[in-house]
Structure 1
Amino acid sequence: MWNVTPIFAKPLLNTYVDLGICDDLKKVCAQMKWNEDTWETGYKSGASKDTHVLHTMDRSVLKYFEDLFNECVRSYLGYQNFIQITTSWFTKTYPGGFAAEHVHTNSWYSAVLYFDEYNDDSSKLKLIETPSPILPLQDEYNIFNAGAYMVPPQKGLMVMFPSEVRHLVTPNNSDQTRYSIAFNMMPKGPCGSGDSAHHY
């Protein structure tokens, strides 16, 4: 008999946020100016020009999210550092639109919150494993051999993952524009040791 250990696993974490916060974000989103259809945003999609949305809202909103992320990083992932939200921006995907595969640079962890209403045809978040040069056939998919993982949007759902994980937004097959807000985070305080030590 073999024992299997998932070494160096990449965590995908999720929680649900207060729906009142979702409604507040929806109102703020309605006032945004947008960058649309660039190589960064994808096809028939956009990102808010404001990349520090939470920092321009009431301080209590920023603290609400920082408290959630700190609970995750310290209590579940086992790190000593607190986190700081460095950037936050709205995204939108029009019917028929999508966002191409990408990673988030200058960031340790990233997250996305779905604050709107969605249906089964709304764009999904697709997380993608780094491609292997060898692709054997599988009897069934599991955490060891799956090359991708789908996250359907739900109002109030927030997911968090290492910023290095490749991901995309699948085509929006619904007749409604799909909105979300994304976050980038860095550790706060001392990291590393010796000549690699740095205080963020």
Structure 2
Amino acid sequence: MQTTHLTDKVIPLFSTPVFVEVGKNMPDVIPQIKDLEYHNYSNRHKGGEQTTNMNILDTLPELTEWLSPFVKEYVYDVMGCDTKNDIDIPCSWVNRHKFQDKSHEHNHRNCLYSGIVYLECEPNGGDLIFTNHKFEMISPDRTHYNIYNSMKWTIRPEKGMVVMFPSDLFHFVTENVSSEIRYSLAFNMMLRGKFGNPSSFINL
């Protein structure tokens, strides 16, 4: 249990931790992923494409090894999960966004945390927007926005950036208005092993 110190004027209570870091020396997997098989993500016009292989990290061992420290830092250090439980990535895929492609608002189900690695992107290749779905009975006018009162939060991707977040957090990607194809790798995370107490126990 965490207690409050008198010096804490504002407490971001029950926050939604989003991990953002630009990693160095990311392996170049672009030649490999360009030749993969892709399909339209949905029937939506300009919704982008994704690989038919939904376990793409299994075919990219160097990238998996590079990504692993970031995943462990988020799950074990930031989120405080016990290291007795292994981190599993049950699915991973590459998103390909051509000119004017974008993704609709969504979240990820059947997992605890989700992540994105930006493999190739331009500054105007599409922003990542997180949205706050907490209901506000009254929504006053704001003089400014910050992490406490925002209903949307924008992250501008760059090559090598790793973003991770709780899977229930809604997000979407704005339109790619660059002339370059944007490649990102998305993945979901789950914990494996035994956790809980006798009345709420699970073994995954």
Give TM class, smaller chain: 0.7 to 0.9
**Paired position in structure 2 for 1:146:** 150
- Give unpaired runs (5+ residues) of structure 1: none
Distance (whole Å) between structure 2 residues aligned to residue 74 and residue 170 of structure 1: 31
With 139-148 and 188-197 compared, the bigger mean Cα shift is at 188-197
**Paired position in structure 1 for 2:48:** 45
- Give unpaired runs (5+ residues) of structure 2: 1-7
**Paired position in structure 2 for 1:16:** 22
Task: Report the residue type matching 1:125 in the other structure.
Answer: L
**Deviation, structure 1 residue 103:** 0.4
Distance (whole Å) between structure 2 residues aligned to residue 109 and residue 37 of structure 1: 21
Q: Is the 8 A contact 1:122 1:174 kept in 2?
A: yes
Given the alignment of the two structures, is residue 6 of structure 1 paired with residue 9 of structure 2, yes or no?
no
**Paired position in structure 1 for 2:96:** 92
Distance (whole Å) between structure 1 residues aligned to residue 151 and residue 68 of structure 2: 31
Larger helix proportion of the pair = 1
Distance (whole Å) between structure 1 residues aligned to residue 45 and residue 186 of structure 2: 15
Task: Report the residue type matching 2:111 in the other structure.
Answer: S
Distance (whole Å) between structure 1 residues aligned to residue 178 and residue 56 of structure 2: 26
**Deviation, structure 1 residue 129:** 0.6
4+ aligned runs moved over 4 Å, structure 1: none
- Normalising by structure 2, what TM-score? 0.86
Distance (whole Å) between structure 2 residues aligned to residue 78 and residue 43 of structure 1: 39
**Deviation, structure 1 residue 61:** 3.9
**Paired position in structure 1 for 2:75:** 73
Task: Report the residue type matching 2:46 in the other structure.
Answer: Y
- Normalising by structure 1, what TM-score? 0.88
Distance (whole Å) between structure 1 residues aligned to residue 78 and residue 166 of structure 2: 14
Q: 1:93 to 1:131 in 2, by over 3 A?
A: farther
Distance (whole Å) between structure 1 residues aligned to residue 113 and residue 100 of structure 2: 29
**Deviation, structure 1 residue 107:** 1.0
Q: 1:157 to 1:148 in 2, by over 3 A?
A: same
Q: Is the 8 A contact 1:74 1:82 kept in 2?
A: no
Task: Report the residue type matching 2:86 in the other structure.
Answer: F
**Paired position in structure 1 for 2:40:** 36
Q: 1:42 to 1:132 in 2, by over 3 A?
A: farther
Which whole-Å deviations, capped at 9, do the CAs of 1:26-68 have from their partners, x for residues lacking one? 12211211121515x762411111110011333x543442333
What aligned pairs does 1:144-183 form with structure 2 within 5 A after superposition?
Answer: 144-183=148-187
Distance (whole Å) between structure 2 residues aligned to residue 195 and residue 72 of structure 1: 28
Secondary structure class of the residue paired with 1:196: coil
What aligned pairs does 1:96-115 form with structure 2 within 5 A after superposition?
Answer: 96-115=100-119
**Paired position in structure 1 for 2:135:** 132
Q: CA RMSD in A?
A: 2.0
With 2-11 and 151-160 compared, the bigger mean Cα shift is at 2-11
Distance (whole Å) between structure 2 residues aligned to residue 111 and residue 66 of structure 1: 12
Which whole-Å deviations, capped at 9, do the CAs of 1:69-110 have from their partners, x for residues lacking one? 112221232221331111110001121121000001111000
Distance (whole Å) between structure 2 residues aligned to residue 168 and residue 139 of structure 1: 25
Distance (whole Å) between structure 2 residues aligned to residue 111 and residue 51 of structure 1: 14
Task: Report the residue type matching 1:73 in the other structure.
Answer: V
Secondary structure class of the residue paired with 1:71: helix
Q: 1:136 to 1:78 in 2, by over 3 A?
A: same
